[in-house]
């Protein structure tokens, strides 16, 4: 599923600006975070509010190494909102929550450094 996370990996093949525009990356606020004990890899189940146009969507996120459940609600995150839903066990993940690997390979959530309106699109 993931490309090479190594910092020394070469850049991916070039894409056009139109290709970039097809990937709809939005900001949302986590409104619910729950354990996901049945996931093959440790993960949390998130519900993220992307504002009135998109609504609240579900996501499975492998962020247990760096985040506690009680610190997630209220946090803004970036996610791809136009991928097809993906079945992860018995859980349907509707968006791909975005992050970067730290030096240990743990996922660090990608988020704005100041609050922005839910549903704001990356450009």
80-102 residues labelled b (16+ CB within 10 A) or e (exposed): ebeeeeeebeebebbbbbbbeee
Q: What is the pLDDT along the chain (123 residues), one digit of tens a residue?
A: 445 667 888 998 999 999 999 999 999 999 999 999 988 899 999 999 999 999 999 999 999 999 999 999 999 999 999 999 999 988 999 999 999 999 999 999 999 999 999 999 999
Q: What is the pTM of this model?
A: 0.92
Instruction: Report phi then psi at 87, rounded to 5.
Output: -80, 120
Contacts of 28 (CB under 8 A, 6+ apart): 48, 49, 50, 51, 54, 57, 76, 77, 79, 95, 118, 119
């Amino acid at each position: 599923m993931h490309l090479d996370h190594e910092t020394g990996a070469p850049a991916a093949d070039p894409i056009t600006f139109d290709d970039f525009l097809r990937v709809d990356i939005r900001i949302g606020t986590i409104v619910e975070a729950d354990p996901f004990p049945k996931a093959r890899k440790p993960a949390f189940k998130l519900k993220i509010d992307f504002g009135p146009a998109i609504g609240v969507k579900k996501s499975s996120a492998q962020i247990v190494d760096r985040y506690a459940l009680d610190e997630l609600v209220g946090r803004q995150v970036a996610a791809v909102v136009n991928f097809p839903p993906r079945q992860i066990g018995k859980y349907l993940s509707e968006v791909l929550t975005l992050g970067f690997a730290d030096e240990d390979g743990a996922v660090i959530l990608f988020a704005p450094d100041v609050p922005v309106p839910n549903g704001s699109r990356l450009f």
